[in-house]
Structure 1
Amino acid sequence: MTERKKPVGQPDKRRAIVAGALTLFARDGYTRASQDAIAAAAGVSNRTIYNHFTDKADLFQTVIQDSTKRVADTMVDLIDRHLGKVVDLEQDLIDFGLAWLGVLTSDLAPHFALIRQINAEAEHIPPAALALWQETGPGRTRSALAERLRRLAERGELRITDSRRAAGHLMLLVSADNLTDRAELHDPDALRAMVTAGVRAFLHGYATTDGPPVTAPAHPKGPEAG
């Protein structure tokens, strides 16, 4: 495991390096992003990077930690906001799903481009960085969602024996991977159709009473999303 270097120098320089590295890692991936390009993107010299980070693996791990924490904080806040006080289970889950997908096109979008790069070249990513991402990102958000679903089950609104598995199912069902084209992330009608279908499928399996038919509203352009 790479020994972490203690930060030295100006905090603004360090933040600039991390921001520049996120841009490059998200665009080019871990293996293709060169330190020269990262230095140029951050507006610093290679020597300045070495003043703050031991090597590229150390920098990458810092980028993952910083980016993942910001996204996880946002996701946990969405979970608490939409599922902390449920009034209409189906509608609240749909609103949550739409807000969840909205993060993908927010100013946090570079993080998700980075994750796609990580998935594409996982065998080349430092294991410590992968473990950190799983623990502080997907692991943390799934646990938070599982806890909210567990509470709904205690209230008798859901029928759940494994809340973490149920959380995984809900995340998959409202995932952007269910869109036929990522451009549909910017199409409110397509998103609502897909999320509605996903939530109804989830409730079909987990609701304590029979919900509405597991069908999506017709996409305005013709085919259904989801």
Structure 2
Amino acid sequence: MRSDKRQAILRGALTIFARDGYARAAVDAIAKEAEVSTRTLYNHFADKADLFRQVIRASADEAARDQLAIIERHFHKVTDLERDLVAFGRDMCAQHGHAEHFALVRQINAELGHIPPEAIEAWQETGPRRVRKALSHELRELGFRDPDRAAVHLMLLTMTGDPSIRGTRPDDEDIAAGVRVFLHGHDVEKRPRAAT
């Protein structure tokens, strides 16, 4: 029963933090969304900062697991580098089920200076860095000379839409163009991928 309440609080907090951001989110609103009392909320979490840290960690972990599965699926057997990277970019952009997480990420980016640094670190370590590390590993296996930088560039060129409109996703043509730019800018050793 206790874990059910905790999960309800985490779900309710994700909804409120994604909608209102960290600074504007009220603990009363979170408790109401979770259908618990504020006392129950504080029985599970020390304060709003602790709750936020747990929410972003849980949300980032869930989104990262799906992204890691996409990386595994697309890099398991690469036969045509450009075509396969375009398919990878499309799948990464087409993720469903994480709308609140990415809304929360937009809120974090908008109010970075007002969020406890340990919450930012928990989010980065659980989500973005973990995904980048896995992507870097796959690019190293494919023979990219600077796989860490290549991983960042591939994500930027295939997962970011119009930079003047925060939170937009690129269309298929933009993803294909991003992959072409990416391949033009990064050296790949001409060696076969090891069989798995």
Backbone CA RMSD of aligned residues: 1.9
2:134 is equivalent to residue 139 of structure 1: no
SS in structure 1 of the partner of residue 24 of structure 2: coil
User: Structure 1 unaligned runs (5+)?
Assistant: 1-8, 154-159, 210-226
Asked if residue 78 in structure 1 is aligned to residue 78 in structure 2, the reply is: no
Select the structure that is richer in helix: 2
Conserved 8 A contact 1:22-1:114: yes
SS of aligned partner of 1:161: coil
Give me the identity figure in percent.
52
Report the TM-score when normalising by structure 2: 0.90
Q: In the alignment, is the contact (CA less than 8 A) between 1:178 and 1:194 conserved in 2? A: no
Partner residue in 2 for 1:17: 9
User: Matched residues in 2 for 1:34 and 1:180: separation?
Assistant: 30
The CA deviation string for residues 111-139 of structure 1, in whole angstroms up to 9 with x for no partner, is 01001101111111111110111111111
- Deviation by residue 1:11-33 (Cα, 9 ceiling, x = unmatched): 11111100000000000000100
Q: CA shift at 1:60, angstroms? A: 0.4
1:172 matched to which residue of 2?
Answer: 156
3-state SS of paired residue (1:174): helix
In the other structure, the counterpart of 1:152 is 142
The answer to whether residue 43 in structure 2 is matched with residue 51 in structure 1 is yes
1:16 and 1:55 map into 2 onto residues whose CA distance is 16
Aligned counterparts, 1:88-167, within 5 A: 88-103=80-95, 106-153=96-143, 160-167=144-151
Q: Give the conservation status (yes or no) of the 8 Å contact 2:132–2:152.
A: yes
Question: Does the Cα contact within 8 Å between 2:61 and 2:126 map onto a contact in 1?
Answer: yes
Q: Take 1:79 and 1:134, find their aligned partners in 2: how far apart are those partners?
A: 18
How much does 1:207 deviate? 5.4
Divergent runs of 4+, >4 A:
179-185
Residues 118-164 of structure 1: per-residue CA shift (max 9 Å, x gap): 111111111111011111111110000000000000xxxxxx33211
Q: Does the aligned pair in 2 maintain the 1:60–1:129 contact within 8 Å?
A: yes
* TM-score computed with the length of structure 1 as normaliser: 0.79
CA distance in structure 2 between the partners assigned to 1:138 and 1:68 by the alignment: 8
Matched with 2:31 is 39
**Does the 8 A contact of 1:94 with 1:196 survive in 2?**
yes
What is the alpha-carbon distance in structure 2 between the residues aligned to residue 61 and residue 207 of structure 1?
A: 39
Shift of 1:206: 2.3
In structure 2, C-alpha distance between the alignment counterparts of 1:184 and 1:17, rounded to whole Å: 29
Question: For the Cα contact (< 8 Å) 2:63–2:127, is it kept in 1?
Answer: yes
How many residues are aligned here?
189
- Classify the secondary structure of the residue corresponding to 1:107: coil
Give the 3-state SS of the residue equivalent to 2:79 in structure 1: coil
In 2: Cα distance, 1:208 partner to 1:47 partner:
57
Report the alpha carbon displacement of residue 184 of structure 1 after superposing the two structures with TM: 7.0
The runs of 5 or more residues in structure 2 that have no matched partner are: 190-196
Deviations 1:172-223 (A, max 9, x none): 00023347767975xxxx71101000011111122559xxxxxxxxxxxxxx
